[in-house]
Amino acid sequence: MRALAGPAMMLVMAGGYLVYHLSSKEDAPSRDFTELEFAGADYQHTGSCYSLRTVLNTNRFFSDATRSWSSPREDAWTLALDSIVQGNGGPTQISQKFTFEKDGDQVHLASVKASENLPTDLKTNVDALLESPRALRSTPIERCQKEGATGYLFVAPRR
């Protein structure tokens, strides 16, 4: 019976570690969510040909902001970006919150909140988010890899 004390102790420790690990993990959307095609800002929500993951990762190259995710409701995720820049009046805080929402096979930019002087209208922000993957010629989703394929602000290059 005494031999059970060791495993029991190990079980308690493993349980404690698991609770700590699960409770300390930062929230983030699942891969299923970020692999969805990012929708354009037009009325028909034409697909941009880039997954949300590609859009976010390529934008990361041009930003040193901190990122944190939260989920305001089911099938929606908010990405908060915060950074400090030096201005003539001293350091200035720049904050942006982008809420993305799943709609079928796409993910839409549903709302934008931002510091003063930053645009919050959806079209400006969608177009700005797509600048990085377009400039880097990032890999589009499979549908758009065929010659002549089109999407919002996207035309597949001729081979």
Partner 1 sequence: MRNVPISALRFQILAAILLALCAPLAGCKRSLHTRDVIEFVDKADNAARKRFAPEICGLRGENFTLSVNFQGHEERYPPSKIEMNRKLFCKEAGKFSRLRQYKLERKSMDIDLADDRKTATVKSEYVETMPYYEPDIMPLTPDDFREWQIVETRDESVVGIESGDLVFLSTRSDSVQTLTAKGEISLPYD
- Which residues of this protein are in contact with partner 1, per CB under 8 A? 1-2, 4-5, 8-9, 12-13, 16, 64, 66, 68, 82-93
Minimum CB separation from partner 1 for residue 122, in Å?
26
Kindly tell me which of 65 and 149 has the beta carbon lying closer to partner 1: 65
Minimum CB separation from partner 1 for residue 26, in Å?
9
Kindly tell me which of 67 and 143 has the beta carbon lying closer to partner 1: 67
Kindly tell me which of 44 and 93 has the beta carbon lying closer to partner 1: 93
Query: Measured between alpha carbons, how far is 53 from 112 in angstroms, rounded to an integer?
Result: 18
Minimum CB separation from partner 1 for residue 105, in Å?
32
Three-state DSSP at 10 gives helix
Instruction: Name the region of 136 (left: φ>0; alpha: ψ -120 to 50; beta: rest).
Output: alpha
Q: Which residues pair with 91 in a beta bridge?
A: 86
- Do the Cβ atoms of 78 and 99 come closer than 8 Å? yes
